[in-house]
Amino acid sequence: MTNVLSVLILEDNQSTATQLMESIRSDPRLSLAGCCHTLTDAQTWLANGGHADAALIDLELPDGSGIDFIRTCAALPSPPCALVMTVFADEKHVLDAIEAGALGYLLKERDSNYVAESIITAHNGGSPISPSIARQLLRRFQEPQAPEKKLSTLTSREEEVLRMVVKGFSYKEIAHALSLSKHTVTSHIQHIYRKLSVRSRGEAVFEAIQLGLVDLK
Amino acid sequence: MLPRTSLAVIAYWGSAVVFAAAVFTLLLQFHQQRPVALEFVQAVVQDLPSDPNIQTAAAPGQTVALPHDWKTGETLSSHARYQFDLNLATAPDRLWSIYIPTLEMAPAVFVNGVFLGGHRTLDPDKALPRYWGRPLLYRIPNNLLQPGDNSIEVDVHAQATWGRISEVYIAPFEDLEPSYNARHFWRVTFLQITAASAALLGIFMLCLGLVRRDSTYNWFAGFSFSWSLHNLFFLTVHVPVSNTTWDLMIYFALAVMAYTASIFSFRFLGENKPRWEKFMRWTFASGGSILVVLSFLDSHSTITYGGFVWNLTMLVFGSYPAFLMLRHFSKNRDWQTYLLSLCYLLTLGTGLHDWSVQTGLGYRHNGMLMQFSTAPTLATFGMIMLYRFITALREADQTTKDLERRVEEKAKEIELSFERNRALHNKSMLAEERERIMRDMHDGVGGQLIGMLNQLDRSERKQATLANDMEQALSDLRLMIDSLDDVENDVVVALGLLRNRLQPQLDAAGIRLNWEVDDLPAVLELGPRRVLHFMRILQEAVTNSIKHTNATEISIRTHPLLLIEKTPCIAVVVSDNGHGGAIQDNGGRGVKNMRYRAESAQLKLAFVSDENLRTTVQVGFPVDT
């Protein structure tokens, strides 16, 4: 029997939150760990020992940004698979979230039937990606960096996958073109997301050392 | 108080008087240095038995006054012997000497029949030594002078028929030596220094000319060299060629002086005188040719013609630049042409003197004087040219600094202007973009929302239809946001964004999408506006296929080069496997919209139908744009 994934919802819009809860409850592979409407609620929920395998996080919250919660989650020993919910999947919001530690995003749609499937896919190592985000990722990883930063870089296969995403190819088409399984392609994407998160944390640490904010001795 | 103009006149003419007085004093001193000695002011002309064919300067036994000049006399001669009597009460107890300040041209001196110095015999195959202008001092050996009568004889060998001798002095050596030394310095050493200085000045000016690339310096260098040569020719005693040839060289050096001085002056004053220059060249060539021919025919005529006609011509040619210089000075009152005018006048004055000496019209015993104007003239000319050079350098330096400053200022201005323009451009771009987004919002989402509100008010339509419309509005909004992405002139990136939006719609309709997209050349100026129109056209094409053709497959292909309406384009083609009718929607309103968008975004659009009435939509970016 497969494990049931517990899911936390952080969404300020009551209607959307209700719809999401229904989607999760209706899928036997998922269980609802909690539902918070503010950042403070969510932080308190965590502080009180709350645990989830996955978290659906809205970015625009009444008392802060969902990105802060993603960071809090990322700092946990066993962080939940954080997914950002966005109406437009615009690159700025999504990339900020990925840098903070999110492993994907979900488009807010009229129909929420896809939500359960997306959570399971993301948890199993597959992450969605749009061409514009793929292009931004390529740019980020191609920026010249100081040798002492020693930040992670993309493998040639990861770069190849991203280039095909930029051209609008689906995972299935990319897998076919590169003779890979679809699962491998999605794994590549998730690796890239993780690398970006690690990279941005590495940059932050490097900058902190440079500024004397961190003492390595 | 005198007005400034009067002061200037006094200053100029006062300094001219001082200049002339200084030169006059210099010249006078040759004659002021008379030694304390016995001075022979008359002599008895003796016959020369050794050479009966040569006519003497005067009838044998005739007493003549010294200085004696036999060019001015009627007698033609090339040789004279002067005899002086000296009665001494006692024999001299120290060294005595004979001092002859000047003679023309070669001497031989005897005391009591004993040869003291000079040229007792002359080699007829060699040129006559040229001592003119040089003072002569001969020591008299002890015991040669006796108490009582002593006979002193001086032979003078002249060139052609022009001979002369100055006063003759006899006295203890130490009484005569200072006068001899002073005269020797001014008549020989000083002129040698001058000639060497003129040559060095010429080299220096040539260098300046090379640096400045200004021919004025080169012409002045030529002037200096010719003057140096002229003086050297004059100073040479033993010449390597015949005297006639040597005289020709002096004449030609004088011609070169006149020519270079004239051209130098023209260049200096900025005067353009091509006809005068040509006339000078023609005169020099023709006159010079006559001189050369004459030198072969009759050396006497050469000297007569050269001394009179040629040198006078040179004086005339030399007068013209002096006139121009004076005229320039009278107009501009500048110190440079003032000094140059003075120098020209000095040179012309001494030149006129020398011409009168040579022609026998003037007093001949001062000898030639023009070479003495070399030093002040060349020093003044050189100083002015150096000043001109330094001024030009300073001006060039200043000009360079000015240019650098102006370039810097201009660079700053351009930078500021660029910044301003960029700010304006950005402002304009922002305004344009804001306007576009507003228009799109109004036409697209705004219109759809208003329509939906109306429907809600009238409850005309079903909830499902409203939901579809709202979904369409949301899709439109997403497309607009996608269009704001910087696609970096890459159509494929725009296509990628579009597919991301189309796929859910296609999935919902159960239609398979053949995505045959490959790299395309960059499209210049692929801004958000063009991207949005391009995506909307494709979206419309896909939507029409979904709604009206019953297609199960839709293909989107890229073409790096495709002719659309006879225009080469980077194109995207949308086709389906339906039964046709994709462009028959809404009475053709969708097609009109697509055409409008294509026109607005400068895109090429074509609908190509096959025999099954299936329509292929071609959208392209003209390659030349």
Write out pLDDT tens, residues B26-53: 666 555 556 666 677 666 665 444 444 4
CATH number of the domain within which B578 lies: 3.30.565.10
What is the pLDDT at residue B54?
A: 46
CA distance readout (Å), B145 to B86, B87, B140, B142, B610:
9, 9, 8, 7, 145
Does any domain span residue B318?
Answer: yes
What is the pLDDT at residue B488?
A: 72
Quick check: B62 and B147 in contact, CB under 8 A? no
What is the pLDDT at residue A70?
A: 92
Closest approach of B499 to chain A, Cα-based (Å): 6
Instruction: State yes or no: pLDDT of B495 exceeds 80.
Output: yes
Lowest mean pLDDT among B318-332, B446-460, B554-568: B446-460
Quick check: A39 and A72 in contact, CB under 8 A? no
- Do residues B171 and B252 share a domain? no
What residues in B contact A168, CB-CB < 8 Å?
Answer: 492, 495-500, 515, 517
- Do residues B117 and B222 share a domain? no
Q: Dmax of chain A from CA atoms?
A: 54
What CA–CA distance (Å, rounded) separates B501 from B443?
Answer: 20
- Do residues B307 and B200 share a domain? yes
Where is mean pLDDT largest: B332-341, B528-537, B552-561? B552-561
Name the CATH topology of A5-123.
Rossmann fold (3.40.50)
Neighbours of B475 (CB within 10 A): 18
Name the CATH topology of A131-210.
Arc Repressor Mutant, subunit A (1.10.10)
Does any domain span residue B329?
Answer: yes
Contacts of B34 (CB under 8 A, 6+ apart): B179
Rounded to 5°, angle at Cα B111 from B110 and B112: 115
- Do residues B344 and B201 share a domain? yes
- Do residues B224 and B370 share a domain? yes
Mean pLDDT by 10 residues, chain A (217 residues): 83 86 91 93 92 90 88 89 80 81 78 79 79 78 63 81 87 90 86 77 62 55
Comparing alpha-carbon positions, the chain A residue that sits nearest to B476 is A88
Query: A88 and B504: CB-CB below 8 Å?
Result: no
Please indicate if any CB of chain B lies within 8 Å of the CB of A209.
Answer: no
Query: A167 and B495: CB-CB below 8 Å?
Result: yes
Please indicate if any CB of chain B lies within 8 Å of the CB of A153.
Answer: no
Please indicate if any CB of chain B lies within 8 Å of the CB of A142.
Answer: no
Mean pLDDT for B532-547 is 88
Does any domain span residue B421?
Answer: no
What is the pLDDT at residue B475?
A: 75
| Domain finish residue from B364, B391, B418 | B391
Peptide bond into B105 cis (omega under 30): yes
Closest approach of A14 to chain B, Cα-based (Å): 19
What CA–CA distance (Å, rounded) separates A94 from A86?
Answer: 8
Q: With bands split at pLDDT 50, 70 and 90, how would you rate the model's confidence at B1? A: very low
In the 8-state DSSP scheme, what is residue B127? P
- Do residues B221 and B108 share a domain? no
What is the pLDDT at residue B405?
A: 92
Instruction: State yes or no: pLDDT of B14 exceeds 70.
Output: no
- Do residues B20 and B76 share a domain? no
- Do residues B382 and B235 share a domain? yes
Strand pairing of B79-88 and B42-46? antiparallel
What is the pLDDT at residue B276?
A: 92
Query: A165 and B496: CB-CB below 8 Å?
Result: yes
Secondary structure (3-state) at B149: strand
Closest approach of A109 to chain B, Cα-based (Å): 9
Q: What is the pLDDT of residues B380-389, one digit of tens each?
A: 888 888 888 8
Q: Residues A174, A179, A184, A190: is their CA dihedral positive or negative? A: negative
Token output for B414: 């351009």
> How many pairs of residues across A and B have Cβ atoms under 8 Å apart?
55
Give the closest residue to B138 by CA, choosing from B107, B163, B113.
B107
Q: How many residues does chain B have?
A: 625
**Predicted model pTM:** 0.51
Mean pLDDT for all residues in chain B? 82
What CA–CA distance (Å, rounded) separates B474 from B482?
Answer: 12
Does any domain span residue B408?
Answer: no
Give the closest residue to B505 by CA, choosing from B549, B554, B558, B574.
B554
What CA–CA distance (Å, rounded) separates A127 from A118?
Answer: 8
Contacts of B269 (CB under 8 A, 6+ apart): B324, B325, B328, B337
Closest approach of A165 to chain B, Cα-based (Å): 7
What is the pLDDT at residue B284?
A: 92
> Which of A87, A91, A168 lies closest to B517 in CB terms?
A168
Lowest mean pLDDT among B59-68, B117-126, B208-217, B494-503: B59-68
What CA–CA distance (Å, rounded) separates B237 from B187?
Answer: 13
Pairwise pLDDT comparison (B436 vs B151), residue with the higher score: B151
- Do residues B122 and B99 share a domain? yes
**Strand (E) or helix (H) holding B108:** strand B106-111
Give the closest residue to B494 by CA, choosing from B596, B621, B625.
B621
Instruction: State yes or no: pLDDT of B337 exceeds 60.
Output: yes
End-to-end CA distance of chain A: 49
- Do residues B56 and B85 share a domain? yes
Does any domain span residue B464?
Answer: no
Quick check: A175 and A141 in contact, CB under 8 A? no
Quick check: B375 and B241 in contact, CB under 8 A? no
Give the closest residue to B63 by CA, choosing from B36, B90, B83, B91.
B83
Range of the domain at B604: 482-622
Please indicate if any CB of chain B lies within 8 Å of the CB of A29.
Answer: no
Comparing alpha-carbon positions, the chain B residue that sits nearest to A133 is B497
> Which of A91, A110, A167 lies closest to B496 in CB terms?
A167
What CA–CA distance (Å, rounded) separates B256 from B249?
Answer: 10
What CA–CA distance (Å, rounded) separates A103 from A59?
Answer: 14
Please indicate if any CB of chain B lies within 8 Å of the CB of A177.
Answer: no
Phi, psi of A50, deg, nearest 5: -60, 145
**Strand (E) or helix (H) holding B15:** helix B4-32
CA distance readout (Å), B316 to B280, B312, B351, B359, B590:
11, 6, 11, 16, 101
What is the pLDDT at residue B368?
A: 82
What CA–CA distance (Å, rounded) separates B198 from B376?
Answer: 11
pLDDT > 90 fraction of chain B, expressed in percent and rounded: 25
- Do residues B249 and B378 share a domain? yes
What CA–CA distance (Å, rounded) separates B36 from B257?
Answer: 41
Secondary structure (3-state) at B103: strand
Instruction: State yes or no: pLDDT of B471 exceeds 90.
Output: no
Secondary structure (3-state) at B534: helix
The domains of chain A are located at 5-123, 131-210
Instruction: State yes or no: pLDDT of B559 exceeds 90.
Output: yes
What is the pLDDT at residue B53?
A: 45
- Which of B500, B512, B574 is best to mutate for the A interface (most A CBs within 10 A)? B500
Pairwise pLDDT comparison (B211 vs B625), residue with the higher score: B211
Do A5-123 and A131-210 agree at the fold level?
no
Does any domain span residue B418?
Answer: no
Pairwise pLDDT comparison (B575 vs B505), residue with the higher score: B575
| 3-state DSSP percent of chain B in helix, strand and coil, to 5 | 60, 15, 25
Query: B504 and A109: CB-CB below 8 Å?
Result: yes
Query: B497 and A168: CB-CB below 8 Å?
Result: yes
Does any domain span residue B119?
Answer: yes
- Do residues B157 and B201 share a domain? no
Q: What is the pLDDT of residues B49-107, one digit of tens each?
A: 444 444 445 556 778 888 888 765 545 557 788 888 888 888 888 899 999 998 888 99
| Number of domains observed in the structure of chain B | 4
Query: B497 and A110: CB-CB below 8 Å?
Result: no
Q: Residues B542, B546, B551, B552: is their CA dihedral positive or negative? A: positive
Contacts of B450 (CB under 8 A, 6+ apart): none
| Domain finish residue from B153, B180, B207 | B180
Give the closest residue to A140 by CA, choosing from A81, A89, A96.
A96
CA distance readout (Å), B161 to B45, B345, B354:
16, 31, 17
Does any domain span residue B445?
Answer: no
Closest approach of A195 to chain B, Cα-based (Å): 23
What is the pLDDT at residue A7?
A: 95
